[in-house]
Amino acid sequence: MSNSIKAGFIQFQPILGEQETNINKLSILLEQANDADLIVIPELANSGYNFESKEQAFALSEKIDNSQFVDFLINEAAKHNLYIVSGINEREDDKLYNSSVLVGPEGLIGKYRKIHLFMNEFDFFEKGNLGLPVFDIGICKIGMLICFDWIFPEVWRILALKGTDIICHPSNLVLPYAQQAVPVHGLINRTFNITANRYGIERGFTFSGKSIISDPYGKTLVTASPDKDEVSFVNFKLDEARNKNITPRNHAFNDRFPSEYKELLR
Ligand code: ACM
């Protein structure tokens, strides 16, 4: 596998119920991503976040295989020759999922459905039912988490144990301290992490911006502003995520004792 990838985020403010506006804004911001390999876009970027009702959440959802938003992302991935991870309000039959998709120039590669729902999301979405998939895009392995998943160290660990180099984390973060956890998960699991957050106020929720990129040593490489559109990239040396040695005699994964962790399964 190649050692280097240019990866980053788009931070913006999706407008509730205005998919066309959101697509137009992303299309403008994606022009700044022309020489990147991978870009992460916030949670529920097609629809906005804090729906008035389940009816509104349904009206603003799309089936992944028949989605103007996913088609837009695939066209942009082909145009700019990059991979895109984006949050999407996904409908399947009579159920909604707070999902993210991974697309590339070749089309849809995979999706993840958010496991840990936050506040009003319980009124609209089902818990994710696809586990924690990891996708090999040739250059590297990509895993996805969504927003409130940030507070559960288990899911970051599992993605890392499955060989993920870069954890892409589309977000609509509300709690003001959430960003602090992202580099720590990276430090503990030796992964690159990209949180693409939104900003702005929507029906009583204030979103915190400050999208963040961190490296496998827990170093914050980029923090965005709290309240502006921003597109930012960093070159990752992927070997850094593949070396799990902590000292010559310690290894982040091999030194674990799962037999001592049985309480985690309760
Ligand atoms: C969140 O999970 N959107 C806070």
Q: Return the CATH number at 240.
A: 3.60.110.10
Task: Tell the residue nearest (CA) to atom 4 of ligand 1.
Answer: 173
- 161 Cα–ligand 1 center, Å: 24
What is the spatial distance between Cα 208 and Cα 104, in angstroms, rounded to a whole number?
28
Which of 51, 88, 112, 119 to mutate to test ligand 1, by most ligand atoms within 8 A of the CB atom? 119
The atom of ligand 1 lying closest to the CA of 173 is 4
Q: Nearest 5°: CA angle at 103, between 139 and 172?
A: 105
Q: Is 219 a catalytic residue?
A: no
Dihedrals phi, psi of 204, to nearest 5 degrees: 95, -15
Active site residue 52: no
> What are the angstrom distances between the C-alpha of 81 and each of 35, 111, 145?
8, 19, 23
pLDDT score of 34: 79
Residue 44 Cα: closest atom of ligand 1 = 3
Structural domain tally of the chain? Answer: 1
Mutate to test the pocket of ligand 1, among 174, 175, 198, 205 (most ligand atoms within 8 A of CB): 174
**What is the spatial distance between Cα 119 and Cα 259, in angstroms, rounded to a whole number?**
34
Domain of 59, in residue numbers: 4-265
What residue's CA is closest to ligand 1, atom 3?
A: 172
Give per-residue pLDDT as tens, 10-39.
999 999 999 999 999 999 999 999 799 999
114 is catalytic: yes
- Spell out which residues line ligand 1, taking CB within 6 angstroms: 43, 118, 147-148, 172-174
Q: Which of 62, 90, 111, 114 is catalytic?
A: 114
Ligand 1: centre distance to CA 255 (Å) = 33
- pLDDT tens, residue by residue, 140-159: 999 999 999 999 999 999 99
Structure tokens, 173: 């973060």
Nearest to 100 by CA among 92, 91, 61, 89: 89
For 168-187, write each residue's pLDDT tens digit: 999 999 999 999 999 999 99
Q: What pLDDT, on the 0 to 100 scale, is given for residue 2?
A: 63
What is the chain's mean pLDDT, rounded?
97
Q: Is it the case that residue 1 has pLDDT exceeding 80?
A: no
Q: What is the mean pLDDT of residues 128-150?
A: 98
Share of the chain above pLDDT 70, in %: 99
